[in-house]
Amino acid sequence: MIVTIKDVAKRANVAPSTVSRVIANSPRISEQTKKRVREVMEELGYHPNFQARSLVAKSTQTIGVVMPNSAYYAFQNPFFPEVLRGISTSAHENKYGIYLSTGSDENEIFNEVVSMVQGRRVDGIVLLYSRINDKTMKFLHDSNFPFVVVGRPFENEERISFVDNDNIYITKQVTKYLIELGHRHIAFVGGSLHFVVTIDRLNGYKLALEEADIPFNEEYMVHEEYIKENGREAIRLLMSLDSPPTALVTQDDLIAYEMISHLEDMNVSVPNDISIISFNNLMLSEHSKPPLTSVDICIYQLGLEATNCLIEKMNKPDSLPKRITIPTKFIERKSCKKKK
């Protein structure tokens, strides 16, 4: 029922190897033969079997995309569809397919990646997160498999290709912006410290405080885990400190929305009573009330460049690791105000 290369060969009166060469458009086959074979392929509706071709060619023309904590949770965060847009564009342009991980915890993801790599299911991998002491990244690095990280690797930074924003710098700038508006009580909200992105942003935040001679206050750090558990309580506690913050640096717009909504319930107005600045510049940030001041980290570009870089690496396995920094844009809207 399925037509194979042999069927085409028989019908066109050539050997299977000739058909194969026509598919590959080998210059060693005469135009006449090519034409005839192509006509037969068309006539029979022939399409090369992907598995057979991959098996012998040792290439799948497929990129594996690995998300943290399963697609299930990941897709709740608009970051991931947006990087995927970038990845998809580059993959499509370069005629690669996309294979998506679905593992739902660290171990599952690790096992998935191992079998993708060892089982040669994909030619390369885009890792969409960077976690501290991540065995998946370590495995990829140790097995010398082509991969690119979106985010800064925690270890072996100079030996791994990655695409990232300069999170330390931009968070420093953003915190400085708040300081220049007169704020001295600035909290840092959200982000799990297991991820390098949080560590970097926290460091940028600290650097700005340091430069302004503002002491770092442990109470001003609200952890992701706590927010997830009870966001309302987290912000209530923060606001009931002896000297509550007058400004917030939040890890992403999603958390910012949540905070704004809880603050409203507490009759704390943004930006009149408290300023908020965040990251990612999601589509809705423009339409929210108040419109969010946010850093556009160019998520689409992160995905696009990561994939371009990966494809380059797959073509030249011996090329040196590459670090690509995607510039960001500070989008000033209405969620920050001079301190009264």
Partner DNA sequence: CTGAAAGCGCTTACAG
How far apart, in whole angstroms, are the C-alpha atoms of residue 175 and residue 331? 14
| CB of 269 closer than 8 Å to CB of 313 | no
Q: 3-state SS string over 127-189?
A: ECCCECCCHHHHHHHHCCCCEEEECCCCCCHHHCCEEECCHHHHHHHHHHHHHHCCCCCEEEE
Element (H, E) at 228: helix 224-239
For 152-163, b where at least 16 C-beta lie within 10 A, e where not — what string?
bbbeeeeebbbb
Of residues 258 through 277, those in contact with a copy of itself by CB under 8 A are: 260-261
How far apart, in whole angstroms, are the C-alpha atoms of residue 138 and residue 160? 10
- 164 binds, options a copy of itself, DNA, none, Cβ within 5 to 8 A by partner type: none
Length of the chain: 340
- 328 binds, options DNA, a copy of itself, none, Cβ within 5 to 8 A by partner type: none
How far apart, in whole angstroms, are the C-alpha atoms of residue 101 and residue 179? 42
| Choices 17-25, 94-102, 269-277, 316-324 (CB under 8 A): range interacting with a copy of itself | 94-102
Question: Which residues make up the interface to DNA (CB under 7 A)?
Answer: 2, 4-6, 13-21, 23-24, 26-30, 32-33, 46-49, 52-53, 55-57
| Choices 53-61, 155-163, 194-202, 308-316 (CB under 8 A): range interacting with a copy of itself | 53-61
- Rounded least distance, CB 14 to DNA, Å: 4
For 110-122, b where at least 16 C-beta lie within 10 A, e where not — what string?
bebbeebbeeeeb
Cβ contacts of 13 within 8 Å, gap of 6 or more: none
Tally: H helices and E strands in the chain: 13, 12
- Rounded least distance, CB 27 to DNA, Å: 7
Does 318 contact a copy of itself by CB under 8 A? no
- Rounded least distance, CB 292 to a copy of itself, Å: 12
Neighbours of 53 (CB within 10 A): 15
Per-residue binding string, a copy of itself, 216-255, x by CB under 8 A, is: ----------------------------------------
- 20 binds, options a copy of itself, DNA, none, Cβ within 5 to 8 A by partner type: DNA
Query: Considering beta carbons, is residue 27 or 215 the nearer one to DNA?
Result: 27
- Rounded least distance, CB 113 to DNA, Å: 17
- Rounded least distance, CB 85 to a copy of itself, Å: 4
Residue from 25, 31, 32, 119 binding a copy of itself (CB under 8 A): 119
Lookup: tokens for 119: 């089982």
* Interface with a copy of itself (CB under 8 A): 2, 45-52, 54-55, 60, 62, 70-72, 75-76, 78, 80-82, 84-85, 88-89, 91-92, 97-100, 102-104, 114-115, 118-121, 257, 260-261, 283-284, 287-289
